[in-house]
Structure 1
Amino acid sequence: MTWCRFFRHRLILTQPMLQNRGTPSAMSDETVIEISDVWKIFGADQQGALNAIHEDGLTKAEVLARYNAVVGVADVSLSVNKGEIFCIMGLSGSGKSTLVRHFNRLLEPTAGRILIEGTDVMALGSKELQNFRNRKIGMVFQNFALMPHRSVLDNVAMPLEIRKVSKNERMRQAAAFLDIVELGAWGSKYAHELSGGMQQRVGLARALAANPDVLLMDEPFSALDPLIRRQLQDEFIRLSKILKKTTVFITHDLDEAVRIGDRIAIMRDGRVVQIGTAEDIVMHPADDYVADFVAGISRLKVVRAHAVMQPLAEYTHEHGPLPENTPRVAESETLSTLINMAIGTDDAIIVEDEGTDVGVITRENILRTVIEGTEVS
């Protein structure tokens, strides 16, 4: 098989998987969420179990046997930047949903520190915590949790009612957020009159209506049919680009995490085993568990030009300067685009970073990347 036919064959096989997020959301280097050394142990003697883990190195199974306690979250530290969509994923029982409920203290950690926008969440009293939740953090659950006796518009307005915003103003704002999720004509309906996907959009609008700095989303689309789920993912991606909310998104679906997340944390047995971009994790898995976890993800979806290229100086030293009309791509361009370009030209491809030439990609670079991905999977 010629290289050209090989690329076309690989592209056809993976074409349905190519529609990923594209460029990352507009995030900054400013840290919004920072958690350090967080543990959650369920049981009567949480502190005794934790001490035994530190002193005797007990495993999760040994903690259960000796203390009748379950380790839900084990020594997790991570940070989330402003405007970032940070996906936490893992299989059922990995601790991802337990972890996210610590961010707004729906669960109290056994140990650890939680800072949100510099506020020590663990130091807040009950009234301060309630106010903090109402103003700083929005949450969207897997079950829609809409009030059946209230209209769609009233459901969206609820966070503003809790803040004692006047009725006219909260209805105006709620209507605006219904328009954002493209349900403006459904404000007078009740939840049972809406489809599951529409109800989840109402839940998202309600969370956004409070204008929180942070969104916590716990498997919000997992109960939906695949087609509706993908439509909601697209809708969320669109909204995230507009509203630029710092978001922690829980999912058990790696494809969803790759599509949505700027970075991904993979959890196992209550621990975070790797944090990175989808590209980092697919190309450099931290261990065999992560490698198995990501084996089904096509590199065409996640690998970008900066990971394929060779340094410009290295290339020109060996081959001489490239012509001025050499095709160029941004560092963030996907492997699938590079393959299409390689099919149509015999030339190398120059990689740019904000207008500066930084690297070169040849057919050999692309072919090696594709073959390595095929061997991994």
Structure 2
Amino acid sequence: MSARLEAEHLYKVFGRRQDKAVERLRAGADREELRSDGTTAAVIDASFTVEPGQIFVVMGLSGSGKSTLLRMLNGLLEPTAGQVRFDGQDLTALSPRDLREVRARKISMVFQHFALFPHRSVVENAAYGLEVQGVPKAERLARATESLELCGLKGWEKSWPDELSGGMQQRVGLARALATDADLLLMDESFSALDPLIRRDMQDQLLQLQTKLKKTIVFITHDLNEAMRLGDRIAVMRDGRIVQTGTAEDILVRPADDYVASFTQDVDRSRVLTASSVMDREVRGDEADCACTTATPDTSFHDLCALSARLSHPVAVLDGKKKLVGVVPRQRLVGFLGDESAEPEPCPAPRDKGGEKVTARA
């Protein structure tokens, strides 16, 4: 399966002598060195791919370059160097007219602030992208109405934006993006302006929609819990660079450096980890027979704890072919909850009755 979106060695530099600044960055210069010369390096050598139907989350603190990176993906900002390919097409090589056509029909954006037109009704706001495309009025209103229903706003079509709560206004923004049937959704801190409870509702809404629509989404956030909840894959940015890319489990269990590890300290691990990330793959011979109560590699940490509490032996983890791929001893679960700064050491694996060590293969 080919990637839907590819970013290759992207740089974005603001200020004087930008090409020279890129050369210096490639040679090992950092942001501070360039800043002293009046040049700002917003994004430095960013590369990643996004597969069709995937939610790819880019997270980092304010000033890390994540929003600048997002705006290069649809051509709102021109990269100083590097390429962006969408379905194999090099967006950085398109003319302004062709790029506007791609943005109008294939890429939609959902902003942090709702950006609704106060003088247009809810359905007219949701239909705006289709209006830009030149879709006839009857068709665009029908498609906008369908999108509003998908987003839980059936019955609010004729209301005005100021009659809606913040969460409902953000749903209109999401419906507007969905109505165009774009292949790619870019979401820039789309839920960060909302109250915590409404924010979680919007996360739920997005995940529910994704099960139906299978959109390709790039989602920007500074909240690691949100990134862990939404992202199929996550890129962590620091000072303009992507310092780690991986699944939520990768970043939580195997942080690339101390900076990434510091982000994970306050994350509720039990909502992220699964059996595959905590199981011991070296299985003792007496444990290989303890498969009466089993889990799968995707079993949640919460469910593992519930299973383990009822057992006097480790939980056996079986793959789709009912093959033993690991076990989860109770002390390993306690280790992941009790010491969140490091992965627990593997349990010892003594010899089995035949004198051989039993090793489960993933």
Scaled by the length of structure 1, the TM-score of the pair is 0.87
- Structure 1 Cα separation of the partners of residues 166 and 315 of structure 2: 46
- What fraction of aligned residue pairs are identical, expressed as a percent? 46
Match of 1:184, SS state, is coil
Q: Which has the higher helix share?
A: 1
Quote the offset at 1:299 in angstroms: 2.1
The amino acid of 1:30's aligned partner reads S
- Structure 2 Cα separation of the partners of residues 181 and 41 of structure 1: 38
* 1:366 maps onto 2:333 in alignment: yes
* 1:63 maps onto 2:34 in alignment: yes
Q: Structure 1: any 5+ residue segments left out of the alignment? A: 1-28
Quote the offset at 1:348 in angstroms: 2.9
Higher mean alpha-carbon deviation, 302-311 vs 142-151, is at: 302-311
Q: Show the counterpart of 1:201.
A: 171
Q: Show the counterpart of 1:50.
A: 22
Query: What is the aligned-residue RMSD (CA, Å)?
Result: 1.6
Q: Show the counterpart of 1:4.
A: none
Corresponding residue to 2:198 among 228, 231, 235: 228
* 1:337 maps onto 2:308 in alignment: no
After TM superposition, the structure 1 = structure 2 runs for residues 72-151 of structure 1, keeping only pairs within 5 Å, are: 72-151=42-121
Q: Is the 8 A contact 2:21 2:34 kept in 1?
A: yes
Q: Show the counterpart of 1:351.
A: 317
Deviations 1:249-301 (A, max 9, x none): 00001111111111111100000000111111111111111111111113212
- Structure 1 Cα separation of the partners of residues 116 and 52 of structure 2: 29
Q: Is the 8 A contact 1:89 1:253 kept in 2?
A: yes
Q: Show the counterpart of 2:148.
A: 178
The structure whose RCO (Cα within 8 Å, separation 6+) is larger is 1
Q: Show the counterpart of 2:11.
A: 39
The amino acid of 2:31's aligned partner reads K
Q: Is the 8 A contact 2:234 2:247 kept in 1?
A: yes
Q: Is the 8 A contact 1:327 1:348 kept in 2?
A: no
Quote the offset at 1:52 in angstroms: 3.0
Corresponding residue to 2:264 among 291, 294, 315: 294
* 1:30 maps onto 2:2 in alignment: yes
- Structure 1 Cα separation of the partners of residues 26 and 131 of structure 2: 46
Q: Alignment length, in residue pairs?
A: 342
Quote the offset at 1:323 in angstroms: 5.2
Structure 1 residue ranges (4+ consecutive) displaced by more than 6 angstroms after TM superposition: none
- Structure 2 Cα separation of the partners of residues 215 and 269 of structure 1: 25
- Structure 1 Cα separation of the partners of residues 304 and 341 of structure 2: 17
Q: Is the 8 A contact 1:298 1:373 kept in 2?
A: no
Quote the offset at 1:321 in angstroms: 4.2
